[in-house]
A and B are shown apart, each in its own frame.
Chain A
Amino acid sequence: MAQTEQKKRGPSDSGILVVTQTKPPTANCWSCGAMRAAHFCQQCGKVQPPAPVDYFSFFGLPYKLNLEPDKLEREFYALSRHLHPDINAVSSDREQQWSLEQSSQLNDAYRTLKDPITRTEYLLRLQGVQLEEQSKAATEEARRTGKVKKQVVPPDLLEQVFELNMQLEEARMNKKMGEPDRNLERELQDTKKQLQAKYDGMMAELHAAWNEWDTLVERTGQGDTVLEDDRLAVRDKMVDVLNRRSYLRNLLRDIDEVLESQ
């Protein structure tokens, strides 16, 4: 796989700033012999054997975190029109199999990249990061050891979370008894507002980090030498924001659940 190759070239810390993208091998079209485009032949339209590429490379995108959703969607539709199994339903078995693999890769890539959070998580994973809470590695570890995945409470939230959990518990009890407490609900609404503001702040932080990252990618693309420390700094910033964000998102969801069902 592409990622593993990049890792080999990197320093002890497995991630490097990737600008040399993995491109599908430029073989000729198996069917008409024309120089083929990535996934299907521009000449005869036939679907080509799938190549193992990462999701950014699948769409021919640089490893940047800001992208235009409309453009990605148009590209997704355009590729679907060539790769989807319905288009290749009466082709040979081999082509049908390629079509199935290509279009699942397309869908997986689109699903991952269209959402900015999963896009960031995916890029970080390409960078060799094992995201503390979201990472598959943690899930696997938990799966293997049978432990519940650990949730790290961001220090600045510690006190508020303790208080909030008590309130949520009380609200759930009230609900069960059918005795809603208007004051408590108001308090929860207030907490929600505060947390939402914090959440928005985090998203702003994340946006800033994306911009920093993209600048690094652009500079590397222009032949600048990017310091390893700069790259690691941005990367770790994103990891930190993502972890806090996911914690906060869960809290907001819990509050919503309690408030909605009142």
Chain B
Amino acid sequence: MSNERIVGIDLGTTNSLVAYMEGDRPVVIPGEDGLNLVPSVVALDGNGQIVVGSAARKFLIETADHTVYSVKRLMGRGVEDVRDELKLFPFRLAEDLAAGEVLRIKLGDKTFTPPEISAFILRQLKRNAERYFAAPVTQAVITVPAYFNDAQRQATKDAGRIAGLEVLRLVNEPTAAALAYGLDKKETATVAVYDLGGGTFDISILKLHEGIFEVIATNGDTHLGGDDIDNLLITIALSDIEGDLGVDIRRNTEIVQGIRKAVIEAKIALSSNEKTVLNVELPGGKRYQREITRAQFEQLIQPVIDRTIGPVRQAMKDAGLKATQIDEAVLVGGSTRIPRVRQLVEELFERKPHSDLNPDEVVALGAAVQANILAGGSEATKEMLLLDVTPLSLGIEALGGVVAKIIHRNSTIPASATEHFTTGVEGQTNVAIHVLQGERELAKDCRSLARFDLRGIPPMPAGLPRIEVKFLIDANGILHVSARELRSGKEAEIEVQPSYGLTDEQVENMILESFDKAEEDFRQRQVIEARNEAETMLTALEKGRKNVAWEQLSSQERTNVGKLETALRAVMQEEDYQSIRSAIDALNQGTMRLAELMMDSAVGAALKGQNMDTADVGEGPESPHPIASAEIER
């Protein structure tokens, strides 16, 4: 066992956090800015560098097309799933996406898959932890919404791998929160965790018994959260402003981002104030202001928060419990700060919900507890064990497009099911199996997970082969499939065609070390370009020395130029493009007077009937400085 610390990560829609167990308490690790929350925002700055978190946030408004946020909504999803999403979120998808391909999002002129974007956030958290510990961090527990399906979980695991993290476990967010809450509660209790975050909603019912956290039922909606509330307010502001200005501003990402920022501020203010003013600065010095009362706000968001009722009722029904049998209700996620949401939870469970722990941090703290359990436990966690469930039923498509369920929702994981298949045609050597996730009766209404192609079945008469296929959902909620032909005992070869997701090979190629290499490539290109520029500069200086203007410089000026030249020649041999550039700038400054004198003499010569070419003023007509080369196109 290594002594390396395993961290717990909450990879959120809006904010992400990293935490670990310090002694017997989980603590959040702050970033360099001293803040616990890392906004889940990724931007490409002017130098083509990836920026994450608070630093990336300012780009949301300045260069919105170089910025991505709420990418969690796109994890493990296909083009056809996100159509509606795209109307409300300024995600810019690559134009050349083929059907069934993993989404790629444009960031400036580059494109990235959602797991890659998430990996940038994870890498930032990894760095924050490494900075804090002054030691490398390579293993993590990452939380996911309980209602995430197989593809969304796999995408999260892939993101970890791309970021250079071994994901020891994916933990469901409400369960993680229960772990954080249950740390010092050893008695038996039934707990409901209501988790309304930035983009997802989960409800989990757990039974706590002597340190065992047994999830009895879970439900949710992976597209329901604070973002939806923001979008309601944005829609109102947009139509108001358009009415005023008489122009369509929906495509103006800068304005929309400005509105989004203002709307979020107003929403937060309304959790503590009875009214607030929605305040948006518009281009041309105009300003949009609108007063919103809490009553108006609550009326507006009621339909959104009512969407949590169905999943809560279903989870209670699945658990076979009535509200009165729930001992405690716990609030998780930033959106549970909204008083109307708290009121709803109180109504649903007929008791005041708990919110002692910071709803933004509790999931990360729980992830740290789970990380500690996985690492072998400590005094605080040695009795603790989490028994979670799969949120969705797993099924196989039968003839006629009907789904035959093989593992039901709310089954404790790991869970498995064995099914037998045979052939329908004489000598058939392949059998295709379509695996789906969901509760509906028909395959077309469920979520396609993958198509498995069983190959290498020994040719036999139809119906004779007996192919045993084992479906196993692991403790991360991810499906594994293996198959065997029983008559021959031969392991069947399985080819998996994931419906939404990256292949192993694709993930391998995306691993950020290779991206780090891309950064290395980028750096080397910069060095080469800087050297080329320096060469050009030095050649021009050679020419300048032969020019009459050189003699007009004072000896001190000439010595100075000589020193700067030596400095540039020395630094050119090194690998640091930034110091080469500063040496170039310094020489550029130092030869400014020489350049002016050369220009004067050239102009003089031109007046005497000579043209610019023969006057030899420098490298190009666009060059403002006869010695400096033209701006290099990058």
Chain A residues with a Cβ under 8 A of chain B: 77, 80-81, 84-87, 89-90, 100-101, 103-105, 107-108, 110-111, 136, 139-140, 142-146
B414 touches A85 (CB 8 A): yes
Q: How far is the CA of A144 from the CA of B421 in the complex (A)?
A: 9
B268, CB-defined interface residue at 8 Å: no
A140 touches B420 (CB 8 A): yes
Least Cβ–Cβ distance between A172 and chain B, in angstroms? 17
B16, CB-defined interface residue at 8 Å: no
Least Cβ–Cβ distance between A197 and chain B, in angstroms? 22
B386 touches A143 (CB 8 A): no
Q: How far is the CA of A90 from the CA of B169 in the complex (A)?
A: 11
User: Within the complex, which residue of B376, B400, B411, B475 is in contact with A84, where a contact is CB–CB below 8 Å?
Assistant: B475
CB contact under 8 A between A90 and B376, given known A77-B209, A84-B385: yes
**B420: chain A residues within 8 A (beta carbon):** 140
B414 touches A107 (CB 8 A): yes
Q: How far is the CA of A143 from the CA of B419 in the complex (A)?
A: 12
User: Within the complex, which residue of B419, B424, B472, B475 is in contact with A86, where a contact is CB–CB below 8 Å?
Assistant: B475
Least Cβ–Cβ distance between B206 and chain A, in angstroms? 14
User: Within the complex, which residue of A80, A105, A107, A143 is in contact with B385, where a contact is CB–CB below 8 Å?
Assistant: A80
User: Within the complex, which residue of B370, B416, B474, B475 is in contact with A108, where a contact is CB–CB below 8 Å?
Assistant: B416
B398 touches A86 (CB 8 A): no
Give the residues from 138 to 181 in chain B that come closer than 8 angstroms, CB to CB, to chain A: 168-169
CB contact under 8 A between A86 and B385, given known A100-B475, A111-B412, A143-B404: yes
Mind listing 5 A-B residue pairs with CB under 8 Å? A77-B210, A86-B370, A89-B374, A103-B414, A111-B412
Q: How far is the CA of A89 from the CA of B385 in the complex (A)?
A: 12
Given contacts A81-B385, A142-B398, 11 further A-B contacts (CB under 8 A): A80-B212, A80-B385, A84-B475, A86-B475, A89-B168, A90-B375, A100-B472, A108-B416, A110-B412, A143-B398, A146-B398
Least Cβ–Cβ distance between A97 and chain B, in angstroms? 10
B357, CB-defined interface residue at 8 Å: no
Instruction: Map CB proximity to A onto B371-411 as digits: 1 under 8 Å, 0 otherwise.
Output: 00111100000000111000000000011100010000001
User: Within the complex, which residue of A89, A110, A143 is in contact with B399, where a contact is CB–CB below 8 Å?
Assistant: A143
**A85: chain B residues within 8 A (beta carbon):** 414, 474-475
Residue of A nearest to B463 (CB): A144
**A87: chain B residues within 8 A (beta carbon):** 385
Least Cβ–Cβ distance between B18 and chain A, in angstroms? 19
Least Cβ–Cβ distance between B491 and chain A, in angstroms? 16
Q: How far is the CA of A143 from the CA of B431 in the complex (A)?
A: 14
Which of B376, B386, B387 is packed against the most chain A CB atoms within 10 Å? B387
Q: How far is the CA of A108 from the CA of B420 in the complex (A)?
A: 17
A107 touches B398 (CB 8 A): no
User: Within the complex, which residue of B168, B374, B404, B415 is in contact with A104, where a contact is CB–CB below 8 Å?
Assistant: B415
Q: How far is the CA of A85 from the CA of B399 in the complex (A)?
A: 36
Instruction: Map CB proximity to A onto B415-429 as digits: 1 under 8 Å, 0 otherwise.
Output: 111011010100000
Q: How far is the CA of A158 from the CA of B236 in the complex (A)?
A: 58
B475 touches A144 (CB 8 A): no
B1, CB-defined interface residue at 8 Å: yes
B424 touches A144 (CB 8 A): yes
Residue of A nearest to B480 (CB): A100
**B412: chain A residues within 8 A (beta carbon):** 107, 110-111
Q: How far is the CA of A87 from the CA of B169 in the complex (A)?
A: 12
Q: How far is the CA of A86 from the CA of B411 in the complex (A)?
A: 17
A144 touches B399 (CB 8 A): yes
Interface of chain A, helix or strand or loop or mixed?
A: helix
Residue of A nearest to B374 (CB): A89
A-B pairs with lowest CB-CB distance, top 7: A146-B399, A104-B414, A143-B398, A89-B374, A104-B416, A107-B412, A85-B475
**B387: chain A residues within 8 A (beta carbon):** 80, 84
**B1: chain A residues within 8 A (beta carbon):** 90
B385 touches A100 (CB 8 A): no
Chain B residues with a Cβ under 8 A of chain A: 1, 168-169, 209-210, 212, 370, 373-376, 385-387, 398-400, 404, 411-417, 419-420, 422, 424, 472-475
Q: How far is the CA of A146 from the CA of B404 in the complex (A)?
A: 12
B415 touches A107 (CB 8 A): yes
Least Cβ–Cβ distance between A125 and chain B, in angstroms? 12
Q: How far is the CA of A107 from the CA of B414 in the complex (A)?
A: 7
Q: How far is the CA of A105 from the CA of B414 in the complex (A)?
A: 8
Least Cβ–Cβ distance between A109 and chain B, in angstroms? 11
Least Cβ–Cβ distance between B403 and chain A, in angstroms? 10
Q: How far is the CA of A107 from the CA of B474 in the complex (A)?
A: 11
B411 touches A107 (CB 8 A): yes
**B374: chain A residues within 8 A (beta carbon):** 86, 89-90
Q: How far is the CA of A86 from the CA of B416 in the complex (A)?
A: 17
Least Cβ–Cβ distance between B20 and chain A, in angstroms? 16
Q: How far is the CA of A111 from the CA of B424 in the complex (A)?
A: 33
Q: How far is the CA of A74 from the CA of B385 in the complex (A)?
A: 14
Least Cβ–Cβ distance between A98 and chain B, in angstroms? 12
A108 touches B415 (CB 8 A): yes
Least Cβ–Cβ distance between A252 and chain B, in angstroms? 15
A145 touches B399 (CB 8 A): yes
**A108: chain B residues within 8 A (beta carbon):** 415-417
Residue of B nearest to A145 (CB): B399
Least Cβ–Cβ distance between A31 and chain B, in angstroms? 15
**B399: chain A residues within 8 A (beta carbon):** 143-146
**B416: chain A residues within 8 A (beta carbon):** 104-105, 108
Least Cβ–Cβ distance between A150 and chain B, in angstroms? 15
B404 touches A139 (CB 8 A): yes
Q: How far is the CA of A86 from the CA of B375 in the complex (A)?
A: 9
Least Cβ–Cβ distance between A179 and chain B, in angstroms? 25
**A142: chain B residues within 8 A (beta carbon):** 398
Q: How far is the CA of A120 from the CA of B89 in the complex (A)?
A: 52
CB contact under 8 A between A86 and B169, given known A77-B212, A143-B399: yes
**B413: chain A residues within 8 A (beta carbon):** 104, 107
**B400: chain A residues within 8 A (beta carbon):** 146
Least Cβ–Cβ distance between B38 and chain A, in angstroms? 26
Q: How far is the CA of A196 from the CA of B420 in the complex (A)?
A: 36
Least Cβ–Cβ distance between A40 and chain B, in angstroms? 14
**A107: chain B residues within 8 A (beta carbon):** 411-415
Q: How far is the CA of A130 from the CA of B182 in the complex (A)?
A: 45
**B375: chain A residues within 8 A (beta carbon):** 89-90
Q: How far is the CA of A90 from the CA of B210 in the complex (A)?
A: 23
**B415: chain A residues within 8 A (beta carbon):** 104, 107-108, 111
Which of A81, A86, A90, A143 is packed against the most chain B CB atoms within 10 Å? A86
Least Cβ–Cβ distance between A119 and chain B, in angstroms? 16
Q: How far is the CA of A89 from the CA of B169 in the complex (A)?
A: 9
**A81: chain B residues within 8 A (beta carbon):** 212, 385
Least Cβ–Cβ distance between A112 and chain B, in angstroms? 10
Q: How far is the CA of A104 from the CA of B416 in the complex (A)?
A: 6
Which of B400, B412, B419 is packed against the most chain A CB atoms within 10 Å? B412
**A139: chain B residues within 8 A (beta carbon):** 398, 404
**A111: chain B residues within 8 A (beta carbon):** 411-412, 415
**A84: chain B residues within 8 A (beta carbon):** 385, 387, 475
Q: How far is the CA of A80 from the CA of B411 in the complex (A)?
A: 15
**A105: chain B residues within 8 A (beta carbon):** 416
Least Cβ–Cβ distance between B412 and chain A, in angstroms? 4
Least Cβ–Cβ distance between A208 and chain B, in angstroms? 25
Residue of A nearest to B401 (CB): A146
Least Cβ–Cβ distance between A224 and chain B, in angstroms? 35
**A86: chain B residues within 8 A (beta carbon):** 169, 370, 373-374, 385-386, 475
CB contact under 8 A between A100 and B168, given known A139-B404, A144-B424: no
